[in-house]
Amino acid sequence: PKMLALFAETVEQAPVAISITDENANILYVNKAFTRVTGYTPEESIGRNESMLSDKKTPNSVYEELWSCIKSQQVWHGYLLNRHKDGRRYLADLTIAPILNDRRQTTHYIGMHRDITEMY
């Protein structure tokens, strides 16, 4: 139990925006850095879809490639144009990984991203 609490607190305080979703990208958990990077608190993001971060101008083919990758239980890494709650666009360096159960079925996804706008 002590170790579980430590895991939870480690994810909560990790210096990268982390979200945990169901298999359709509906948000179940966000950490502190997620709120810092996106502007959305847990109350404002849990229950919504990750697509709330989309700038709505990215070609659909980008998302199709992302989904075909994670659906085949592989890790996807790439760059997406995201929209902060305040309306500002930012470049996200994003990694999405499937979380499997003991029958090797995908039950959840973890998303990890940082704002790399300043690097460009």
Binding segment for ligand FAD among 5-13, 28-36, 39-47, 64-72 (CB under 6 A)? 64-72
DSSP 50: G
Binding segment for ligand FAD among 2-10, 29-37, 40-48, 92-100 (CB under 6 A)? 92-100
Is residue 33 exposed (0-12), middle (13-18) or buried (19+ Cβ within 10 Å)? Answer: buried
> Rounded to a whole number, what is the largest CA-CA distance in the chain?
45
Tokens of residue 120, six digits:
């460009």
Binding flag, residue 54, ligand FAD (CB under 6 A): yes
- Residue 103 CB contacts under 8 Å (≥ 6 apart), including other chains: none
Beta bridge partners of 100: 106
Binding segment for ligand FAD among 6-14, 29-37, 39-47, 49-57 (CB under 6 A)? 49-57
CB of 120 to ligand FAD, least distance (A): 17
Footprint on this chain of ligand FAD (rule: CB under 6 A)? 19, 21, 24-25, 49-51, 53-54, 60, 63-64, 67, 71, 80, 82, 92, 94, 96, 109, 111, 113
